[in-house]
Amino acid sequence: MADSRLSSRALVNLLGEWRNAGPVYRGLADAVRVLCLDRRIAPGTALPAERDLAARLHLSRTTVAAAYRDLRESGHVSSLRGSGTVVRGGGPIADPPGTADETTIDLHRASPAAWPGLGSLFVEAAAQSGQWVGHSGYDMVGSIELRTAIASRYTARGLPTDPDQIVVTTGAQSAIALVTDVIVRRGDRVAIETPTYPHAADALRDAAARLVAIPVDSEHGWDLERADHVLRRAAPSLAYLMPDFQNPTGASMDDQTRRFLAESAAEAGAVVIADETTADLDIDRPFATRPFGAGADPAVQHNIVTVGSLSKSVWGGLRIGWIRADLDLVPRLVAARPRRELGTPELEQQVAILAFHRLPEILRQRGELLRLGRDTLVSALSDALPEWTVPHPHGGVAAWVGLGAPVSSPLALAVRARGLILSSGPRFGVDGGHERHLRLPFTAPPAQLERAVQMLAEAWPEARDRGRPVTEAVLDAVV
Ligand SMILES: Cc1ncc(COP(=O)(O)O)c(C=O)c1O
């Protein structure tokens, strides 16, 4: 049985501009394939009946049937008796079949390998296990030692913080989901950057929030006019923002932008989630920053909930993140937690305490690693694909590259066939679009990044031609 069914209207919304210069059935199949690969259609979802989709797209049923057949042959969907055409499961590495080997480069995640000294911290923490294995181990708030380390760092960076304002979570994603649980009611509007971090958008959609987009780009940063409009007119209950090295654009807010957004959100009565997961990933940022909301009036600070994590600075596998919130909100967060999970593991918390003691050294190593990745990627792209617009991010995990044409999905498909796994631009969108952009993480080793750029350059002519608008292709054929 299918888990859920996608209506033809919902699929057409997701498809966006899918027609390209190739055969119509193939263009449709390619567009659905990218939606499956990017997990914008969940495994187990039934696609609309051929007849319904054909009617909505003004196509013949034979064309839709041919597209579904193509998807079946590539292994992305299967036919289930009683359910119709259903999207198949399998991780991104298993898709398409046959690419999961050591020659595959997986850049759909932007996460560096662990800080090299992490193993020794695990050994040190395990040696001290006698001190904490006597507890029940169900820790909903976080150890006082770790909360003190986190709070002291906020205080040192200009945002005085009491350890009781901190809740330790299993990574920033759990933190975002928990705050969403407590703040967002079904049907609430939520202001969110576009492009954005997709799993945060998914968590908000799961809470039945209506997302209202604030555009941000690598060159100009946040569209404050639009932000002002969204915050005043849409009356969102929550605004989800990434102030530093925004994922995926790499943009960082200057002081004026921070102040404007914090004050506008407070005036609108919106709680701000300031997701600072990527904030420590400085390479060469031209200005120093303080945590979001530092120096603001208490009434403005009251509305700001900060989310942090050691996932990018130390290791994603540690699964240690946290929430910094007003003292009033903390008990509500702790009370809402048990229905989704029963605490943060002890060993990892002990490792995190040791990592906090060595944070300056760790961040120096991360900065060097990211600089090497960024410089390698930017220089390889400038050499191999000079027609692309390649930003020079001052930190973070990825470059949001402009392709100059709406071909991100065909390009993601074409490189996948060569063994390079990337998410297409629209995966980061809130309201469709972003077909002209591709997120390229620079967290992988330099040799992999160079090989990835080589694959992109090889696939580029095919993707660019596939993505050309139909009219242009027809005109070319005539003259
Ligand atoms: C902006 C942002 N927020 C949250 C997360 C999730 O982090 P964690 O691994 O701590 O759950 C990520 C991970 O990529 C991220 O980039």
Per-residue pLDDT of the chain (479 residues; tens, 9 = 90+): 667 889 999 898 888 777 877 788 988 998 888 888 877 888 889 999 999 999 999 999 999 999 999 999 888 899 888 778 999 875 443 444 334 456 899 999 999 999 999 999 999 999 999 888 888 899 999 999 999 999 999 999 999 999 999 999 999 999 999 999 999 999 999 999 999 999 999 999 999 999 999 999 999 999 999 999 999 999 999 999 999 999 999 999 999 999 999 999 999 999 999 999 999 999 998 887 899 999 999 999 999 999 999 999 999 999 999 999 999 999 999 999 999 999 999 999 999 999 999 999 999 999 999 999 999 999 999 999 999 999 999 999 999 999 999 899 889 989 988 999 999 999 999 877 899 999 999 999 999 999 999 999 999 998 888 765 544 433 333 33
List, in order, residues 6 or more apart from 300 with CB less than 8 Å away.
262, 263, 266, 293
* Residues 123 and 253 occupy one common structural domain: yes
Give CA separation, 449 vs 170, 292, 365, 374, 453, in Å.
30, 32, 19, 9, 6
In a domain, 95, yes or no: no
* Residues 367 and 352 occupy one common structural domain: no
* Residues 339 and 375 occupy one common structural domain: no
Tell me which residue range forms the domain holding 454. 105-110+361-478
In a domain, 60, yes or no: yes
Atom of ligand 1 nearest to the CA of 110: 14
Spacing, Cα 201 to ligand 1 middle (Å): 12
* Residues 385 and 444 occupy one common structural domain: yes
* Residue 381 identity: L
- Tell me how many domains the chain contains: 3
Its pTM stands at: 0.87
* Residues 290 and 207 occupy one common structural domain: yes
* Residues 215 and 320 occupy one common structural domain: yes
In a domain, 467, yes or no: yes
Q: For a substitution probing ligand 1, which of 309, 318, 323 has the most ligand atoms within 8 Å of its CB? A: 309
* Residues 326 and 195 occupy one common structural domain: yes
Atom of ligand 1 nearest to the CA of 174: 11
Domain boundary among 339, 357, 375: 357
In a domain, 461, yes or no: yes
In a domain, 289, yes or no: yes
Atom of ligand 1 nearest to the CA of 309: 10
In a domain, 98, yes or no: no
Q: Whose CA is nearest to atom 16 of ligand 1?
A: 247
Spacing, Cα 377 to ligand 1 middle (Å): 22
Spacing, Cα 188 to ligand 1 middle (Å): 23
Spacing, Cα 3 to ligand 1 middle (Å): 27
Spacing, Cα 129 to ligand 1 middle (Å): 28
In a domain, 414, yes or no: yes
* Residues 268 and 369 occupy one common structural domain: no
* Residues 316 and 171 occupy one common structural domain: yes
CATH of the domain at 208: 3.40.640.10
CB of 336 closer than 8 Å to CB of 182 = yes
Domain boundary among 306, 338, 357: 357
b/e burial code for range 82-112 (CB count within 10 A of at least 16 → b): ebbbbbeeeebeebeeebbeeeebbbbebeb
* Residues 329 and 380 occupy one common structural domain: no
Q: Whose CA is nearest to atom 3 of ligand 1?
A: 277
* Residues 318 and 378 occupy one common structural domain: no
CATH of the domain at 421: 3.90.1150.10
* Residues 389 and 344 occupy one common structural domain: no
In a domain, 245, yes or no: yes
Q: Which residues line ligand 1 (CB under 6 A)?
A: 171-173, 197, 242, 247, 275, 277-278, 309, 311, 316, 321
Spacing, Cα 21 to ligand 1 middle (Å): 37
Spacing, Cα 475 to ligand 1 middle (Å): 46
Domain boundary among 357, 380, 399: 357
